[in-house]
Chain A
Amino acid sequence: MRGRPSSHSQAGGLAGLLLLALLWLPFTAHAAKIGDISETSLSEQAWRFLSFEDPSVRYAVGGSLLLGVSCGLLGSFIVVRKMALVGDALSHAVLPGVALGFLWNMTKDPLAIFLGATIAGVLGTGTVSLITRTTRLKEDTALGLVLASFFAVGICLLTRIQRMSVSGQSGLDKYLFGQAAAIGPDDLRLMAVVTALVVVIVLLLYKELLMASFDPGFARVSGFPVAWLHHGLMLLLAFAVVISLQAVGVVLVSAMLITPAAAAYLLTDRMSRMLALAALVGMVSGVLGAFCSFLGNNLPTGPFMVLAASLVFALAFLFSPRQGVVVRWWRQRSRARRTQRENTLKAIYHVLESRGFAGESVSLRELAERRRETIEDVRGQAGELARHGLATLHEEGNQVLLTPGGWQTAASIVRNHRLWELYLTHEARIAADHVHDDAEKIEHVLGEEVVRELERQLDFAKQDPHGRAIPGAEEIHRPFSSGRSDELLGYGKPQ
């Protein structure tokens, strides 16, 4: 069916623009409803130049980017150190600190909340290590205990504040599930400072953190202060958690630590790249989450950010070039199919060899007998060979004729198999009747270099342990020097 490409692309373009406009409208319309247009100062003029008009939108996007970076960078260390539960506990334990920070001035003072939350976080991790050191309770129990107890204190304070009928306290419940729109200029400044600190420290101390995370014993022996590095990391972690609270919420911050970093973990084999990727994924999920929560009326931001990050993780899980489940399955399938083709080729070679290479084509029945399978199965295999240009079918598909490429492959496989058998019997001194199965597996994976090495080591032997001829390089390439693919002669006839 032939369409008209230009009109399709036009329609597509139009639809895209419409969609964008539709999405933009609530974004801006809502922004106008949500935030007061606050007084602009000199520093905010600078922000204004960058992109959006509404300050509320800018703060939200800016904040999401910043928290994405912080959480991504620190989360990477959490993931490789297997400290996911610690992140979870820390993010719940800060709640009482948030409440107390609020109570300090009876208003949403970013600095007070930051300090309060950080102190609560530090107290929490301190309590966990106290419990593990002084009782026989294990770390996971201590973490769960501190997580829930501190959170309960926070809830008591929160509900108490709610009933104290204090104005402006509605801002406090936003800390439970996050509201990016509530980020103000002071919040953004704080987030920027903390994120800059995190970036600088990770850059400066990269090799120290890397070594201390990978092999703390070796790091100590090399003279590095591993304990201090750990405490420092915990403190930075507390900072990152606290600045992310407003946008993501107490309950879900730990997901922003773990999920982007886990996605990055699946996408690369190097820590430096993992850090960069985690920050990137964090930023993307952050902005996506902020965007989505702006679309609705009073929707919490945290869940959207987490779901966006989880989506990226799911994509990495499935399609990562090296680790992806789908990718690996596909590769395995291709490999299995290739092995099947090579086994068919080998069987054809054996049939030809058994007739002294007289005649060029092999009937399906001969092949079925050799492979001990049904004619139908063999017909399917022959079809596969034809599809890959390794053979051609004649006489209504009952005769199989190898192409030059097919012949080369078949002879190479047989050579590999017999060389390997010879090697095993001579060098590894395995009995001749034991080597066949090994060789069946190895024949498909020997690379050219290894084969050359084998031939050299075995002095270019001509016969395998069972007395059969090992095809040499000339036999494999000779027959088709004339370049005519339908040349039926010179097929390896004994010279």
Chain B
Amino acid sequence: MKDLIPPFNAQEVLVMPWTDGLANFGWIALMGFLVAAACGLIGNYLILRRMALVGDAISHSVLPGLAIAFLLAGSRGTLPMFLGALAAAVLTTLIIEVIHQKTRVKQDAAIGIAFSSLFALGVLLISLFADKVDLDQECVLYGEIALVPLEPMTTLGASTLGPPSVVRMALVAVVVLALIGLFYKELLVSSFDPGLAATLGINATLVHYALMSMLSVVVVSAFEAVGAILVIAMLILPGATASLLTHRLPRALGWSVLHAALSSVLGVHLSVWLDCSVAGAMVVMGAVLFALVWVFAPEQGQIARLRRHRADATGTA
């Protein structure tokens, strides 16, 4: 037990990643940031629409899609993976609707049954065809972000861009940002007031499905880096932290990105110190940031609330 926490060598933990290890940890931190930023941005809408459970479901259910894509395509091609994941996400939604609409099973149980069955199927496929599918069980759960810098760099013309996962993730993040920017009003109204959205000519169902598709794309891109379960943290933590800091959505989106940046950098440091999974460390730091904000936030933090309570009590007595 005493070996659990390694000694804290400030030089190694805090400085090295930015100097000697930059080539390595730089990419890792960047990847973590991009993943957390993309997930966090979309996650804000999940929180608003009370769809955290759906995010959980989609992140689990893409697994069989990926596994089957691997088996069929025989490689880690981007397009087959995305298609497989999208197909799995659509299948999940269908199964949930069928169970929920046709019987008295409620939605929460329907979601649980759908995604756990699909996830189990995925794990099964991976275990049975271990040699043909380049995913191992651990990777599924917490990703292999540490391997990102080891990939051969992609090039665009003469310049080297970076590892392919990072390039992909950057593209996805940019697309997410662009879509949120372009369809800001539609997303906002349909999240708060679907009825009003209908009268304004916004097709709430279309927005819903578009959001789900974007979510699937983000989840699949993030999957390799952080795995199926930690991606849920990346979806929820930035937005939850941001919602404690502001009531306005644009600022919440900004705070989410900041949270993503901080948690990925701090996560790198933590993982260097503890010699543990990088993705796990990033999420842990994200949770620590959440806890700090929970205590110290100017209006909604616990300290502020306690002060208000005391002021009220003394005021009225």
Contact = CB atoms under 8 A, between A and B. Distances in A.
Contacts of B106: 79, 82, 84
Per DSSP, chain A at the interface is: helix
Contact of B116 (A144, A254, A266, A304): A254
A282 interface: no
Interface residues of B, number: 62
A317 B99 contact: yes
B280 A82 contact: no
Given A254-B112, A307-B124, A145 B240 contact: yes
A186 B118 CA distance: 33
Contact of B123 (A136, A262, A303, A310): A303
B52 A140 contact: yes
Nearest to B235: A144
Nearest to A85: B53
B106 to A, nearest CB: 5
Contacts of A147: 56, 229, 232
A135 B3 contact: no
Contacts of A323: 103-104
A176 interface: yes
A251 interface: yes
Contacts, number: 201
B147 interface: no
B111 interface: yes
Given A156-B276, A164-B3, A307-B124, A148 B230 contact: yes
A307 B116 CA distance: 9
Contact of B283 (A148, A176, A304): A148
Interface residues of A, number: 62
Nearest to A137: B240
A323 B281 CA distance: 47
A252 B116 CA distance: 7
A152 B124 contact: no
B177 interface: no
Contacts of A136: 243, 300
Contact of A149 (B51, B281, B287): B287
A426 B82 CA distance: 67
Given A176-B137, A299-B128, 9 more contacts: A85-B111, A144-B236, A145-B237, A148-B233, A149-B284, A160-B4, A176-B141, A251-B141, A310-B117
Interface of A: 79, 82-85, 87-88, 92, 103-104, 106, 131, 134-138, 140-141, 143-145, 147-149, 151-153, 155-160, 163-164, 173, 176-177, 251-252, 254-255, 258-259, 261-262, 265-266, 296, 299-300, 302-304, 306-307, 310, 313, 317, 323, 325
6 contacts: A83-B108, A87-B112, A152-B280, A163-B276, A259-B113, A302-B123
